[in-house]
Amino acid sequence: MKLLVLSDLHIDTGDKFGTFGWKSQKFIKTLEAIINHYKIDQVILNGDVYELYKYTYSDVVDRNSDLINYFESKEFIFIRGNHDLWNPRAKDHYNISNSQGKTIHIEHGHNADFLNGTSIGRFIGKVGFYILRFIVKFHWAERLYFKIVEYDDEVNRVPRKYNSYKYLLYGLKLLRKYDLVVLGHTHKLEVHKMYYINQRKQYLNCGTCSLGRFQAVLIDTETLANETIKIGRKSELIIDELPPFPLKK
């Protein structure tokens, strides 16, 4: 089976806090082109698909009905992230094993930290967003907020609020049990290959599709071969420029 795993879309209502950065039809066209090019069997939306810290689920659905109807018509698998814990269709993780008994584990990765992985931390974060909603009524605060978001989410950078080493350690701990682990959450594409007790293991991070970018990982579940996709916010999708994927026929 060929998997496409992407995360951190942060689909919103397009209002004050909007960070998705895509027109629905353009995102659908881009995703469809990638699915068809690589003959993807299953798409995994690995958490923070919706921005539910800042908006209600019904508001997000109302403003993005064509995109969400597309997701549902394709029967994509939703995994719960810290920003969409209340997504009614999401599951906590997704596991799949191949004919050799090798297991792929996919989860968002927010359980590695205090603010996003504990009930107390999530409460603190939610209170913080309520305060933010109030202060951005002032234009100077709104402009400052967006400057911070854009600075934290620059291409090729890990958001300052995330310690990539901590999440790498979390991924490596999961590799004690699984053969390939895929996380999101940090908005940073990563590929790490190693050996653990004489067995080849891999940790991947599928990056982000926010702010008009498209990042994802491709995985062949039978061979565990994988590849990353990275399209910048100002780039146009050119199929011939997509990286090759050494899939087993």
Condensed to tens digits (0 to 9), the pLDDT of residues 10-33 reads: 998 876 667 898 999 999 999 999
Beta strands, E only, the chain: 2-6, 42-46, 77-79, 94-97, 103-106, 180-183, 189-196, 199-206, 214-220, 226-231
| 102 found inside a domain | yes
Condensed to tens digits (0 to 9), the pLDDT of residues 49-97 reads: 998 877 778 888 899 999 999 998 999 999 999 888 878 889 999 999 9
| 52 found inside a domain | yes
| 90 found inside a domain | yes
Q: What is the pLDDT of residue 249?
A: 45
Query: What residue has token string 């039978």?
Result: 222
Q: What is the Cα–Cα distance from 219 to 211, expressed in whole angstroms?
A: 24
Q: Are 6 and 216 in contact (CB under 8 A)?
A: yes
| CA dist list (Å): 225 to 35, 188, 239, 245 | 17, 20, 20, 8
Cα dihedral 185, 164, 35, 107 in deg (nearest 10): -50
Label residue 82 left, alpha or beta by phi (over 0 means left) and psi (-120 to 50 means alpha): alpha
| 112 found inside a domain | yes
Condensed to tens digits (0 to 9), the pLDDT of residues 153-199 reads: 444 344 555 667 788 889 989 999 999 999 999 999 999 998 887 88
DSSP state of 111: G
Q: Which domain holds residue 133?
A: 2-241
Q: How far apart are the first and last CA of the chain?
A: 11
CATH of the domain at 102: 3.60.21.10
Q: Count up the domains in the chain and report the number.
A: 1
| 248 found inside a domain | no
The pTM score is 0.82
| 246 found inside a domain | no
